[in-house]
Amino acid sequence: MSATTLLEPSAPAVLLIDQQAGLAFGVGSTDRQVLLSNMVALAKTAKALPVVMSTFASRVYSGPVMPTIQAVLPEVASIERHNMNAWEDDRVTTAIAQTGRKKLLVSGLLTEACISFPVLSALADGYDVSVVADACGGVTSESHSLALRRMEAAGATMTSWLQVLLELQRDWTRKETYNDARTIVEAHAGGYGIGLAYARDMIRISLR
């Protein structure tokens, strides 16, 4: 797939890296609450896709996967690593290979290392990688931006959680995913979500 090919639900797997409170403390590139909302929204979207989750130093510094994220994906067990580059952990790459998918959506902390390193490695191994940039956080705005630019220059596609959701849904008459998609938008997409809820409520009123 290329950057010009729209996502299909049968194509991507999702790699969630180090979405842990101890690392979130170090995020200075964006508002942490907005970032957490974005990561939760992506996790909710990912429920329909294969998900691989990995953590780093969860017992000594970083803590477990943040509860609001783990609660969305209770069946996904995190793979604990000791190295910054998840792609250098055979359990992670094996889990990704077992999905049978060569398109990756990547999100997590921190952009400068634990996101950029595996993204660059995955690209080198022939994977098509999209970085969900607004569901990643860096130490500073500048270092986060530089890491995104480096990954993009290497061939990764930059996207957002909302674009991922809308790209997968694409047609609001897809009834099997409509309710879930609408609920995620209403909860996490700010003014767009408010507008969607308003339109739904107005239709209900007009039908009375």
Catalytic positions? 114
Whether the CB-CB separation of 138 and 89 falls below 8 Å is answered with no
The pair of three-digit structure tokens given for residue 144, joined into one six-digit string: 């986060």
| Complete DSSP assignment for 113-161 | IIIHHHHHHHHHTT-EEEEEEEEEE-SSHHHHHHHHHHHHHHTPEEE-H
Residues in the chain: 208
Residue 45 CA: distances (Å) to CA of 67, 84, 132, 152:
17, 26, 12, 23
The pair of three-digit structure tokens given for residue 94, joined into one six-digit string: 């094996």
Phi, psi of 33 (to 5 degrees): -70, -40
HSE of 200, CA atoms in CB hemisphere, 13 A? 13
Distance CA 194, CA 121 (A): 39
Q: Return the biggest CA–CA distance within the chain.
A: 59
